[in-house]
Structure 1
Amino acid sequence: MAFTLENKAICKTNNLTVVIMILSAPEHTEHRRAIRETWANSSRSSSMPEVRTIFVIGRLKHWTTQSLIEKEFADYGDILQGNFEDNYKNLSLNSLYGYQWLNQNCANAEFVIKSDDDIVINFNKLFHAINNRLMFVNRTREVACFRVRSTVHRERHSKYFVGEHVFMNVDYTPAYCEGKFVLMTMDLIPDLLESAFLTPLFWLEDIYWYGLVMSSVPDITYTRIIWGEKIEPKAEKAIECLQKRDNCKFFITWPRNVAEIRKIYTLMEKDNSTYTETDFINATIEQEIFLVS
Structure 2
Amino acid sequence: NKDESEHTEEITFITSNTSIPDKIISNGIPPQIKHQSKHIENIPSVTSNSNTAENKDESGHSEDIISNSIPPQIKDEADHTEDIAFVLSNGIPPENFTRDTSAFPIDNLPLNDSSQLLNITNFKFLINTPCSESAYIVVVHSAPSNYHKRQLIRSTWGSKVPLYFFFGETATNQALLDTESTAYHDIVQGSFIDSYRNLTYKDMLVFKWVIYNCPRVRYVLKIDDDVFVNVARFSEFLTDALSPYGTRHLLMCYVWRHIAVDRSNNMSKFYVSVEEYPYEEYPPYCSGPTVLYSPDVLFKLYQSLQQDGNYFWIEDVFVTGIMVSKLNLKHAEFNWWKGNDWLLVTKYEDLFQYDPGRNLFVMIGEPIYEQNGQNLVEYFLNVTSDHSGNPV
Letter in structure 1 aligned against 2:270: Y
Letter in structure 1 aligned against 2:232: N
Instruction: Please tell me whether residue 10 in structure 1 is matched to residue 128 in structure 2.
Output: no
* Deviation at residue 163 of structure 1 after TM alignment: 0.4
After superposition, the Cα gap between the structure-2 partners of 1:158 and 1:67, relative to the gap in structure 1 and judged at 3 Å, is same
TM-score (structure 1 length as normaliser): 0.77
The structure where helix makes up a greater share of residues is: 1
* Deviation at residue 218 of structure 1 after TM alignment: 4.4
Q: Which residue matches 1:164?
A: 274
Uncovered stretches (5+) of structure 1, i.e. residues with no partner = 43-50, 273-293
Instruction: Please tell me whether residue 231 in structure 1 is matched to residue 231 in structure 2.
Output: no
Corresponding residue SS for 1:187: helix
Match of 1:146 among 245, 248, 254: 254
Match of 1:105 among 205, 208, 213: 213
Instruction: Please tell me whether residue 71 in structure 1 is matched to residue 186 in structure 2.
Output: no
Which whole-Å CA distance do the structure 2 matches of 1:224 and 1:30 have between them?
Answer: 28
Q: Which residue matches 1:268?
A: 383
Match of 1:38 among 124, 135, 156: 156
TM-score (structure 2 length as normaliser): 0.59
Which whole-Å CA distance do the structure 2 matches of 1:101 and 1:210 have between them?
Answer: 18
Uncovered stretches (5+) of structure 2, i.e. residues with no partner = 1-122, 388-392
Which whole-Å CA distance do the structure 2 matches of 1:132 and 1:192 have between them?
Answer: 26
What do residues 102-152 of structure 1 show as CA deviations (whole Å, max 9, x unaligned)?
Answer: 100012111101111001010111221221126899722212200113221
After superposition, the Cα gap between the structure-2 partners of 1:200 and 1:128, relative to the gap in structure 1 and judged at 3 Å, is same
Which whole-Å CA distance do the structure 2 matches of 1:247 and 1:55 have between them?
Answer: 25
Q: Percentage identity across aligned positions?
A: 24
Quick check: 2:233–2:357 contact (8 Å CA) kept in 1?
Answer: no
Which whole-Å CA distance do the structure 1 matches of 2:239 and 2:201 have between them?
Answer: 33
Match of 1:129 among 227, 237, 244: 237
Which whole-Å CA distance do the structure 1 matches of 2:144 and 2:356 have between them?
Answer: 36
After superposition, the Cα gap between the structure-2 partners of 1:260 and 1:230, relative to the gap in structure 1 and judged at 3 Å, is farther
Which whole-Å CA distance do the structure 1 matches of 2:196 and 2:329 have between them?
Answer: 31
After superposition, the Cα gap between the structure-2 partners of 1:118 and 1:201, relative to the gap in structure 1 and judged at 3 Å, is same
Write the mapping of 1:144-293 to structure 2, written as runs, cut at 5 A.
144-149=252-257, 150-154=259-263, 155-170=265-280, 172-197=281-306, 198=308, 200-218=310-328, 220=330, 222-225=332-335, 230-234=341-345, 236=348, 238-242=350-354, 249-256=358-365, 257=369, 258-259=373-374, 261-269=376-384
Q: Which region of structure 1 is more displaced relative to structure 2, 87-96 or 248-257?
A: 248-257
Corresponding residue SS for 1:254: strand
Which whole-Å CA distance do the structure 1 matches of 2:361 and 2:166 have between them?
Answer: 21
